[in-house]
Amino acid sequence: MYLDHYNLNEKPFQISTDPRFLWFGEKHKEAFSVLRYGVLDNKGFLLLTGDVGTGKTTLIHALLNSLGEDVIVSTIFNPELKKLEFFNYIAHTLNFKKKYENKVDFLVDLTKFLNFAFSSNKRVLLIVDESQRLSHGLLEEIRLISNIERKDSKLINICFVAQNEFNDILWDSRNDALRQRITINYKLEPLSQKEIKDYIEHRLKVAGARRNIFKSSAIEEITVFSRGYPRLINIICDHALLTGYVKGKEKINEAIIKECAQELSIPKSTTATDDNKSRIEASKIREPEKTGKIPVDRYIFLSLLVVLFLTVLHFNYQPIPMPWSIGPLGSKQSASESGAVSIHRPVGGPVPHMQTGAKPDRIEAESAATTSGPIHSVEEAIPQSDKKIVLYFEHGSNELPDNAYPALERFAALLKSRPQAKVLVKGYTDRIGSADFNQRLSEFRANIVKGFLVGQGIDMARISVKGMGAVRSTDANPPRGSNRFDRRVEVEME
């Protein structure tokens, strides 16, 4: 639609793995070189991690295109399989042309295949994409497959491609043997502002552009909104070209990027890349000099704080230790010793929502427990009638902060004591953004929590995940106009 307007031959920002549009920043070049070296030198286990949209899949495609015919590749894109399904899928990708009913027959044929490949001077590479979805059982089977080797050489290289939470799974004590075997480990970081500029110009050039289409101010805004993730850069830029065409603009400016980001419901990053961090901080510092006044919303906020403080003083509060402040399971560590925040309530009254002291704007964990008296164990902390915790997320955040871990660890401990119990993890968002975006975001957040529980040793089959989208919270009773309690993940034992 907009190609003639900008004199382009094709769309430059399609989300695809077309090698003609491939562009590597310094981090991607380094990751590519390290992984290629690991494969060609038979290093065994390789690991590539990174946030969603950092370009892991594109990098792997580039790696595969660079390998010659002497490398035999088996790629698994969805590892949420049962053991026999996993074995049969590997057999299919290696052209075994046989369906296996048991593990023994598969391992016998795989051993023969790997030895034949070695004698033919060929290397075998198994790539497991989305590895954070692997069950503990499959992780152990993959480790055992790596045991098929000769004294002087590895017979198979295995490359995990995963989101960052896979590192937590590897640090599960049950995966110590696997973690210690990983010889190549590379974390893919987002692009810097300069790399974003080069990335955009490269793709435009390949598409036939003979002039600069994006102004420097537009690229600055793209940096802030995309946080350096190539996938988001493609989405924003493509939408911006369409918007510029509709408006009859020859160049994309800062205003168009802001408009597109708002339409796409992409929240502005609170953690910008290194190149634009100083620019954002400088603008924050200059803000009071422009106005000369404290904004009205800050007066309101300060007033609410004063009212809240006076209300707290009005009641006679009595501290009770909550499950998140009793330290390791079975210990008598106090809240102050563990670094947690103790919870107070009026005598005989309900338990208020637990709020963390270190990061009040990032996350809160609450238990629906209403038991009175001291709590001595996790069993009492989460009563039979309501075994549930709620985690609150910052706006636009897909990160599980450190102060959520104690709540989830104790919840996992309770699950281990009840192996028959099922878990339902439901994600929610506020109403900012399209329905489709909110549904996917809420499901993504729920999966982050699921991944943590799996890393704590909870069988993946016991955990169900639902993305609920934008649904108002009724439990938290937030003040009018507040979306904070809507951005949550509810974890409940069924």
Q: Fold identical between 26-188 and 318-493?
A: no
In tens, the pLDDT along 210-260 reads 888 999 999 999 999 888 998 899 999 999 999 998 888 999 999 999 988
Is residue 109 predicted with pLDDT exceeding 80?
Answer: yes
The CA distance from 211 to 6, in Å, is 9
Share of the chain above pLDDT 90, in %: 27
Most confident of 311-315, 336-340, 345-349: 311-315
Q: Which fold has domain 26-188?
A: Rossmann fold (3.40.50)
Q: What is the pLDDT of residue 300?
A: 56
Mean pLDDT of the chain: 75
What amino acid is encoded at 325 in this protein? S
CA-based nearest residue to 8, from 203, 217, 232: 203
Biggest distance spanned by C-alpha atoms of the chain: 82
- pTM of the full structure: 0.52
Residue 296 banded pLDDT, cuts 50, 70, 90: very low
Q: What is the pLDDT of residue 365?
A: 39
Is residue 413 predicted with pLDDT exceeding 90?
Answer: no
What amino acid is encoded at 346 in this protein? P
Is residue 64 predicted with pLDDT exceeding 80?
Answer: yes
The least confident of 48-62, 88-102, 108-122 is 48-62
Residue 424 banded pLDDT, cuts 50, 70, 90: very high
Is residue 441 predicted with pLDDT exceeding 50?
Answer: yes
Q: What is the pLDDT of residue 252?
A: 93
The mean per-residue pLDDT over the stretch 462-473 comes to 84
What amino acid is encoded at 368 in this protein? A
Q: What is the pLDDT of residue 30?
A: 86
The mean per-residue pLDDT over the stretch 297-322 comes to 50
Most confident of 8-22, 344-358, 456-470: 456-470
CA torsion sign for 162, 166, 171, 172 is: negative
Residue 297 banded pLDDT, cuts 50, 70, 90: low
| Phi, psi (degrees; rounded to nearest 5) at 186 | -130, 130
Most confident of 21-25, 93-97, 338-342, 454-458: 93-97
Q: What 3-state DSSP class applies to 123?
A: strand
Higher-pLDDT residue of 383 and 202 is 202
Q: What contacts 24+ positions apart, CB below 8 Å, involve 471-478?
A: 471/428, 473/428, 475/368, 475/390, 476/353, 476/390
Residue 302 banded pLDDT, cuts 50, 70, 90: low
Q: What is the pLDDT of residue 329?
A: 32
Does the domain formed by 3-16+192-289 have CATH 1.10.8.60?
A: yes
CA-based nearest residue to 196, from 151, 228, 171: 228
Q: What is the pLDDT of residue 450?
A: 83
CA-based nearest residue to 44, from 103, 114, 132, 138: 114
Q: What is the pLDDT of residue 334?
A: 34
Q: What is the pLDDT of residue 93?
A: 92
Residue 308 banded pLDDT, cuts 50, 70, 90: low
Residue 358 banded pLDDT, cuts 50, 70, 90: very low
The CA distance from 135 to 28, in Å, is 28
Superfamily of segment(s) 318-493 = OmpA-like domain (3.30.1330.60)
Instruction: Give residue 359's Cα distance to chain centre.
Output: 20
Q: What is the pLDDT of residue 315?
A: 44
CB of 109 closer than 8 Å to CB of 98: yes
| Domain residue extents for the chain | 3-16+192-289, 26-188, 318-493
For the chain, helix, strand, coil in percent to 5 are 45, 15, 40
Residue 398 banded pLDDT, cuts 50, 70, 90: low
Is residue 429 predicted with pLDDT exceeding 90?
Answer: no
